[in-house]
Amino acid sequence: MIRPSLIILGIILGIALGLLYGWAISPVKYTDTDPSSLRADYREQYLLLVASAYQADGNLDRARERLAALRDPDSTQTITALAQRMAAEGKDASALAALAADLSGGVQPVASASESPASTPVPLPTETSTPPPTPLAAPSLTTFPTLTPTATPGYDYTLITREPYCNDAERLPLIIVDVIDADGSPLPGVRVTVTWGEGEDGFVTGLKPEISSSYGDFLMMVGVMYNAQVGSRTPPVTGIAAPTCADVENESYAGAVRLVFQRK
Amino acid sequence: MTRTALFNFIAGAILGIALGLIYSWQINPVKYTDTAPDSLRADYQADYVVMIAQAYSTDGDLDLARARLATLNLVDPGQHVADLAAAQIQRGAALDDLRALSALAAALGAVPPPLPR
């Protein structure tokens, strides 16, 4: 005669034994995994390593292969987001910014240490060729963390262009900064510090590679005067304020200021 | 306990184990998420170490390299890097990678293999 109570007891005991074996005696050991299974913080670490390795060897195909192992459908966007977050935390995001820019086709890969450096100048974006700028983020009143030296900490920059920038489509009071090298090639990963009154914030060029790897921007508040400093040694550009622009119907709006810096 | 009762109990236990396995293997199998670098397959681990060495070659930050290697839970990180350099020499890796690995191994106190000319 079958006694259901004993069967149930056996099932319960069997499951308990199975769990005891699976969780305590011989728990799962993860081996032979691939980078796509890494925990979020380790994935970020992996991205940083890929960017640093790319900085070392300039091999974009290799960087792409390494990124492919993460199975991220939009690794460029992930890198850009990580770079923006690191920049906001005051950390050096230049390697990530450079990789994001190059993945987007912004600039040619840097030469490896054993090769002669060869950079391909990329034309600066012009008002006719540049897509409408979009703001990075509204300036916050929180103090930006202590500046961390970037990849270009000891360079001096010359302001070569300062002009109002009116874009009827966007109508945003931006500080638009383009930073180029001595030979005219775009420079991603350059830190720009913006100060106003008691406030301080900053951004890094190259985080919008769809516009240009030399590009960075900052959303101003209308009526506030700002200063913008590129790098840490060049004196800041002072007295920046949103200019008044007028559209085709003569309707006025607060426009942008475009600054172009060239590394000496 | 009679023989019939024992049979029922054992049958129940077998059924329970079978149900557990069906659940764990078919219905809700293990998904590898939130793993650490030390669980990476050997070739990924090797490339991970190469990247650490490449990063060290550009930033020169040995503490950072040590911290990154620590995520691999290596018994002797310096020797591991030196061994990897030797293995990479065997497979004809790029000289820049070998230099980076050798430099990191030496910085960690290990004796790197001689680099090919």
Which domain CATH number covers A226?
A: 2.60.40.10
| Mutant choice from B3, B9, B61 vs A, greatest count of A C-beta within 10 A | B9
Give the tokens for residue B71: 């995520």
A220 touches chain B (CB under 8 A): no
Is residue A148 predicted with pLDDT exceeding 60?
Answer: no
pLDDT at A91: 82
CB contact under 8 A, B20 and A15: yes
β-bridge pairing A157-165 and A256-263: antiparallel
Domain extent at residue A227: 157-263
How far is the alpha carbon of B38 from chain A, nearest alpha carbon, in Å?
8
Same domain, A96 and A161: no
pLDDT at B84: 97
Per cent of chain A over pLDDT 70 is 80
Q: What is the pLDDT of residues A59-94, one digit of tens each?
A: 999 999 999 999 999 998 899 889 888 877 778 888
Is residue A144 predicted with pLDDT exceeding 60?
Answer: no
Q: What's the total number of domains in chain A?
A: 2
Asked if residue A173 belongs to a domain, the reply is yes
Q: Rounded to 5 degrees, what are φ and ψ at A86?
A: -65, -40
Domain extent at residue B91: 37-107
**Tens of each residue's pLDDT in chain B, 117 residues:** 688 888 888 888 888 888 888 887 788 877 778 899 999 999 999 999 999 999 999 999 999 999 999 999 999 999 999 999 999 999 999 999 999 999 999 999 999 999 887
Residues pairing with A199 in the sheet: A196
Q: What is the pLDDT of residues A18-60, one digit of tens each?
A: 888 877 787 777 788 999 999 999 999 999 999 999 999 999 9
How far is the alpha carbon of A15 from chain B, nearest alpha carbon, in Å?
5
pLDDT at B68: 96
Is residue A108 predicted with pLDDT exceeding 60?
Answer: no
Average predicted confidence (pLDDT) for chain A: 78
Same domain, B64 and B26: no
Interhelix angle A60-68/A94-103, nearest 10 degrees: 90
Q: What pTM did the predictor assign?
A: 0.61
CB contact under 8 A, B12 and A14: yes
Q: What is the dihedral of CA A167, A169, A175, A176, to 10 degrees?
A: -80
A35 touches chain B (CB under 8 A): yes
Is residue A117 predicted with pLDDT exceeding 50?
Answer: no
List C-alpha distances in Å: A257 to A131, A135, A160. Answer: 15, 13, 13
Using a CB-CB cut-off of 8 Å, the residues of chain B touching A34 are 40-41, 44
Same domain, B6 and B62: no
Asked if residue B114 belongs to a domain, the reply is no
Task: Tell me which of A28 and A98 has the higher pLDDT.
Answer: A98
Give the tokens for residue B36: 């650490």
Same domain, B59 and B13: no
**Rounded distance, CA A36 to CA A67, Å?**
9
pLDDT at A106: 52
What residues contact residue B40 under an 8 Å CB cut-off, 6+ apart? A32, A33, A34, A35, A38, B48
Give the tokens for residue A144: 């930006």
Q: What's the total number of domains in chain B?
A: 2
Same domain, B44 and B86: yes
